[in-house]
Amino acid sequence: MAELAGVHPATASRALNPDLPGRISEETTRKVVEAARRLGYRPDPTARSLRTRRSGVVGVVVPDLLNPVLPPIVRGIEETLWEAGLGCLLADTDNRPDRETALVEELRARRCEGLIIATAARQSEAVASLIDSGIPTVLVTREPDDHPFPFVGGDDEAGVEAALEHLVGLGHRRIAYLTGPTDLSTTVRRLMAFRQVWERLLPGVRHTVVHTEGFTVAAGRKASLDLLSGEDRPTAILAGNDMIALGVYETLQTLGIDCPREISVVGHNDMPFMDQVHPPLTTVTIPQYDVGREAARLLLDIREGREVTPTRRLLPTRLVVRGSTAPASVAH
């Protein structure tokens, strides 16, 4: 260790610690730094952790990294954490509550200094278990119905509002909302927004809400097949997310319905390549990367004991109008 090279045992620690300004004379500090440099010395993080009770890592729990909305969030988190000198322990729950519980427990056992959780269903045993744990926790993108933690996500309400205004502005009146299962927080947040905006824009007008089996292409395909096969089909579909919208695309192809001439489709999330599908998908874009950064910043604030207000941060979303929406045909 640096002690040998220099002269002393634990003086080196103080010399190398920037939080102790004039604690050690400049002379001595210089010697220590020099010795450390020559030996390529880096204090052992394990030993340090043991003494200081800080592990230097935070756990990041995601439901499924293959979901295209997550990588940008994780990147935002990861970059922000490294900048603060914290490592990022990644855990993927594969959307399974039991795995979520197990992984959160594992992360706690590893003495993570904080947790960023993107995986929570509306009921989450794992999140509940954290409530009085004292572990700094931030939820991101998804959240349980009831929880005391800070949350960062996109402003879904504004997104749905913009999407619906867009469709109504194009003359659409028979609009179906095709969303996911009711046990996901995303479904609830977006659906509530849909209902509110609907009442404002088209009070009293009937609307259709269909719950798919999941936020997937297959579920979207299946649900839209029923919806579009019957008489009196809608002139526009607002999808709960882009996956469902892609499922709708497949159904349209199957049934030989032209988008956007005969029907308009709007998605949500603006996943990568949604400008490359056919037709290019009109959808709500969410600043996922910034959501990740903000979540990490919030966690750092909490960790430093800084006050965090407000506790919910909804980052601005924006409707990107592409080729999948058009004025309602006059025939209707």
Among 14, 75, 147, 211, binds a second copy (CB under 8 A): 75
- Integer Cα distance of 325 and 307 in angstroms: 44
Indicate the residue among 89 and 126 with the shorter CB distance to a second copy.
89
Q: At what angle do helices 185-201 and 156-169 cross, to 10 degrees?
A: 40
Choice between 29 and 186, CB closer to DNA:
29
> Could you tell me whether strands 283-285 and 318-320 are parallel, antiparallel, or unpaired per DSSP bridges?
antiparallel
Binding of DNA by 13 (CB under 7 A):
yes
47 lines the binding site for DNA (CB under 7 A): yes
Nearer to a second copy, 94 or 301 (CB): 94
Tell me if 27 contacts DNA by CB under 7 A.
Answer: yes
Q: Which of 8, 13, 56, 188 binds a second copy (CB under 8 A)?
A: 56
98, 219, 270 from 263: Cα distances, Å: 41, 19, 20
Q: Does 28 bind DNA (CB under 7 A)?
A: yes
Please identify, using beta-carbon distances, which residue of 6 and 180 lies nearer to DNA: 6
H or E stretch covering 14: helix 11-16
Name which of residues 244 to 263 contact a second copy (CB under 8 A): 246, 249
Long-range CB pairs of 83-87 (<8 Å, 24+ gap) are: 84/296, 84/300, 85/56, 86/56, 86/57, 86/58, 86/113, 86/300, 87/56, 87/57, 87/58
Judging by DSSP bridges, how do beta strands 87-92 and 57-62 pair with one another? parallel
Is 30 a binding residue for a second copy by CB under 8 A? The answer is: no
Unique residue bearing structure tokens 């990568």 = 272
Tell me if 219 sits within 8 A of 244, measured CB to CB. Answer: yes
- Per partner kind, with CB cut-offs from 5 to 8 A, the member of DNA, a second copy, none near residue 78 is a second copy
Q: By CB under 8 A, tell whether 131 contacts a second copy.
A: no
Site for a second copy contains 222 (CB under 8 A): no
d(CA 174, CA 187): 21
Which of 24, 130, 191, 274: binder of DNA (CB under 7 A)? Answer: 24
Q: Which is nearer to a second copy, 197 or 245 (CB)?
A: 245
Stretch that binds DNA, among 45-53, 60-68, 229-237, 297-305 (CB under 7 A): 45-53
Q: Is 130 helix (H, G, I), strand (E, B) or coil?
A: helix
Beta carbons of 136 and 260 less than 8 angstroms apart:
no
316 touches DNA by CB under 7 A: no
Q: Is 49 in the site for a second copy (CB under 8 A)?
A: yes
Instruction: Find the helix or strand (DSSP H, E) in which 198 lies.
Output: helix 185-201
Contacts 24+ apart (CB under 8 A), 49-52: 49/111
Query: Which of residues 34 and 83 has its CB atom nearest to a second copy in the complex?
Result: 83
Q: Considering CB distances under 5 to 8 angstroms, the limit depending on partner class, which of DNA, a second copy, none binds residue 246?
A: a second copy
Q: Which residues contact 176 (CB under 8 A, 6 or more apart)?
A: 207, 208, 209, 210, 227, 234, 236, 237, 238
Count of residues that interact with DNA, criterion CB under 7 A: 26
Calculate the dihedral angle through the C-alpha atoms of 101, 103, 109, 115, rounding to the nearest 10 degrees: -90
Candidates 21-29, 129-137, 213-221, 241-249 — which segment interacts with DNA by CB under 7 A? Answer: 21-29
Work out whether 48 is an interface residue with DNA (CB under 7 A): yes
Q: Which stretch binds a second copy (CB under 8 A): 24-32, 54-62, 224-232, 293-301?
A: 54-62
Which range touches a second copy (CB under 8 A), out of 21-29, 57-65, 116-124, 146-154? 57-65
Contact 190, 251 (CB under 8 A): no
Chain residues in the site for DNA (CB under 7 A) = 1, 7-11, 13-14, 16-17, 22-25, 27-29, 41, 43-44, 47-48, 50-53
